[in-house]
Amino acid sequence: MNNRLQEVKKVLPHVLFTSLTSANIQLSRHSRWQDRVMAKRTKRKIARPKLPLQRQLEFETDGRYFDLRAMFEKLNSRYFGNRLRGYKIIWGKRRQERPRENFIFGTIQEEDHIIRINPWLDQRFVPTWFLEYVLYHEMLHAIVPDQMNQSGRRCVHTDEFNRREREFRFYKRARRWEEENLARFLR
């Protein structure tokens, strides 16, 4: 493992945390919570670390439609010069119900090198390049260090992070797909 990764691995896990975003989503069905949700546009926040017990439960890499390991290897080679070492890439635990407001696509726990992808993404209608974007986003957290801003708050999506995120080949397409399809992941 190189020095750069050593530096960041102590960092708290991140969550790709997104809310229903815009009018081009069909909102009629969801209007009762639309107002609350609109204020949280494309918000990402730091997750609470999981309890040790929860960590041990899920280690699935092979989904019905997507093989996360193969996808990770491809992205690691193409975008990161194979710098991410020793990571487990797994589908997270499937919850009974889809969330109402916020859908967490993926998380990274850098201290124990685990990337979890939400198993609701393992569906036929999800484009490969969208899942790749979600995984790319989490992998990028292992590479781009967090920063503290002036008020002492941790910033995980720094300018540098956002710049690097746009280097993903299908970034724009993926963000548009996310806006147009998020409602399908929510109740």
Q: Can you give the binding site for Zn ion, defined by CB under 5 A?
A: 14, 16, 44
- For Zn ion, give the closer residue by CB, 58 or 165: 165
| Least distance between Zn ion and beta carbon 85 (Å) | 20
- For Zn ion, give the closer residue by CB, 27 or 46: 46
| Least distance between Zn ion and beta carbon 27 (Å) | 25
**What's 96's DSSP letter?**
S
Q: What angle do CA 71, 124, 97 make, to 5 degrees?
A: 100
- For Zn ion, give the closer residue by CB, 29 or 41: 41
How far is Cα 113 from Cα 69, in angstroms, rounded to an integer?
14
> Residue 154: beta bridge partners?
148
| Least distance between Zn ion and beta carbon 164 (Å) | 12
How far is Cα 107 from Cα 114, in angstroms, rounded to an integer?
8
Q: Which residue is nearest to Zn ion (CB)?
A: 14
